[in-house]
Amino acid sequence: MKLMIIFGICVLVLSSSLINVKSYAENDENSANFLLAIERINVLLKLIEENNDYNHALSVVKLANEIDLTLRSKDDKLADDLYLKLVDLPTIVKSGKDLSSHIADTRVLLDKALVTVIPERNETLYAQVIFSLITLAEKEYENGNYDLSIEYMNRAYNIYKENINNGELNDEFEKAINLMIARTDVSEVSSVNSKLQRDFAGIFSGSNINHKQYFEEIRRLYDELLKEYKNGNYLQADEYAIEAYLDNYEFLETPLENVDKELMEELEVDMRIELREMIKDRVAYDEIKAFIDEILAKLEEAEKLLDEHIITFEADIINANGNGNSNGEIKLGSASDEAKRDVMSQVDAIRLKLMEVLEAYKNNDYDLAYEKARSAYLDNYEFIEVPLAPIDPNFTLEAEIKFSELRQLINDRASYE
């Protein structure tokens, strides 16, 4: 691939960015989000190094965007260095050049980033991240991504051994991992994982966010489930059942166990096993609705018990896919005129720098060409990427890869034409 071709693609991609300018609400990522993203990247790097997996490399690029703003608020230079390492990974994987050394350098930067952003880490923080890694492991297992699910589980176990270990959960972790390796039925894996999650949820319980939001969300999800089931959308109905249990009831189990263990276990079986089996068997709609009404009645009883005991617990746990969320609704085309002018200004600056890249490269000044390409990406494109990413993540990913390929071509001294 020629340098001029990539240059042309970069300019074309930038031109299309002017069509979709919108406002952006900056995300306030907490320490648990940041640590989880770092751990996920480390897991993916291991698999990339072992299997030269391009899709995992693309996943790393997406995670790079999740940690960038948090790290940049602490150390701009480190953020630049790490971000380039991460977004260059798909290009390195595709080329097959120096992959091991690139990953080794990336790991060093990840360690530095972690110390920079979270110099002191406690048991509660680790418990949150372990909980989320187990959740991710189970979801990947359900989707048939066995290698990734096992690595997430291994990483959760290692964090536990290194930072929390009291020996009580070693057998449970090893059982869960062995079940995954043996490709055991999802329900059996889920049962073991649920016990682990309850234990770690207990460590980070006691925060200031009330349990009512989980009851409300379960009710909403079951309303959606019934609508989808009635319309014959059984797979979507099952997804709602999973979300109601895994992303909501899991947080209720520990406090509920303290006041009524029997009720907690009944609801667990009803929501995690029985309801999903009924959906799988495509039972009549009225039968599903009657069973959900029974669950809701038990949930109402559980909510009253928790109200009486004034139990609150942690709700600020990371999303199971590890993706950031904006703080407010963003509407297409709602950017101010000033914001639009800022984006256009950045696009113009990138075009000029890319022209300077070509001029320097044509004169064999490769260092200057690389520096201009790097500056166009870090100093200008990132300001465009922020408002565009929520609109079209595939577009921003494509642009990142093209900038990466441009830098790689300069390093490789590709032909000019």
DSSP per residue over 274-305, as a string?
A: IHHHHHHTT--HHHHHHHHHHHHHHHHHHHHH
Residues 213 and 114 both lie in one domain:
no
Residues 350 and 368 both lie in one domain:
yes
Domain containing 171 equals: 122-204
**Residue 11 included in any domain:** yes
Residue 335 pLDDT = 47
Residues 246, 249: Cα–Cα separation, whole Å: 6
Domain end among 188, 204, 220: 204
Residue 44 pLDDT = 96
Give percent of the chain above pLDDT 70: 75
Q: Which segment, 70-79, 114-123, 290-299, 377-386, is predicted with the most confidence on average?
A: 290-299
CB burial string 91-125: b at 16+ within 10 A, e below: bbbeeeeebeebbeebbebbeebbebbbeebeebb
Residues 308 and 214 both lie in one domain:
yes
**CATH number of the domain encompassing residue 197:** 1.20.120
Instruction: For the chain, give the mean pLDDT.
Output: 78
Token pair for 390: 């929520």
207-222, pLDDT tens digit by residue?
Answer: 434 577 889 999 999 9
Token pair for 353: 């720098």
Domain end among 204, 238, 261: 204
Strand partners, 133: none
Residue 333: is its pLDDT beyond 60?
no
Confidence of residue 224 (pLDDT cuts 50, 70, 90): very high
Residues 73 and 151 both lie in one domain:
no
How far the first Cα of the chain sits from its last, in Å, is 10
388-416, pLDDT tens digit by residue?
Answer: 655 555 666 667 777 777 777 777 777 76
Q: Of 61-75, 98-112, 175-189, 389-403, give the lowest mean pLDDT range.
A: 389-403
Domain end among 316, 347, 377: 316
Which carries the bigger pLDDT value, residue 209 or residue 70?
A: 70
Q: Which segment, 159-173, 193-207, 362-376, is predicted with the most confidence on average?
A: 159-173
Residues 8 and 22 both lie in one domain:
yes
Q: Of 31-40, 79-88, 242-251, 309-318, give the lowest mean pLDDT range.
A: 309-318
Q: Of 42-46, 268-272, 289-293, 365-369, give the lowest mean pLDDT range.
A: 365-369
Confidence of residue 3 (pLDDT cuts 50, 70, 90): low
Confidence of residue 18 (pLDDT cuts 50, 70, 90): very low
Residues 82, 103: Cα–Cα separation, whole Å: 11
Distances in Å between the Cα of 213 and the Cα atoms of 29, 39, 252, 258, 275 are 21, 28, 10, 19, 22
Residues 101 and 145 both lie in one domain:
no
**Residue 333 included in any domain:** no
Q: What's the whole-number mean pLDDT along residues 267-290?
A: 94
Which carries the bigger pLDDT value, residue 10 or residue 68?
A: 68
Question: What pTM does this model have?
Answer: 0.54
Distances in Å between the Cα of 284 and the Cα atoms of 60, 218, 260, 290 are 43, 21, 32, 10
**Residue 326 included in any domain:** no
Confidence of residue 8 (pLDDT cuts 50, 70, 90): low
Residue 317 pLDDT = 37
Give percent of the chain above pLDDT 90: 33
Residues 111 and 8 both lie in one domain:
yes
Residues 160 and 217 both lie in one domain:
no
Residues 343 and 272 both lie in one domain:
no
Residues 292 and 386 both lie in one domain:
no
Please name the residue that has the structure tokens 């039925």.
185
Residue 364 pLDDT = 81
Give the count of domains, the chain: 3
Residues 150 and 103 both lie in one domain:
no
Which carries the bigger pLDDT value, residue 278 or residue 342?
A: 278
Residues 34 and 89 both lie in one domain:
yes
Three-class SS state of 184: coil
355-396, pLDDT tens digit by residue?
Answer: 777 777 777 887 887 787 777 776 667 666 655 655 555 666
The length of the chain is: 417
How many C-beta atoms surround the C-beta of residue 25 within 10 A? 12
Residue 326 pLDDT = 35
**Residue 322 included in any domain:** no
Confidence of residue 112 (pLDDT cuts 50, 70, 90): very high
**Residue 416 included in any domain:** no
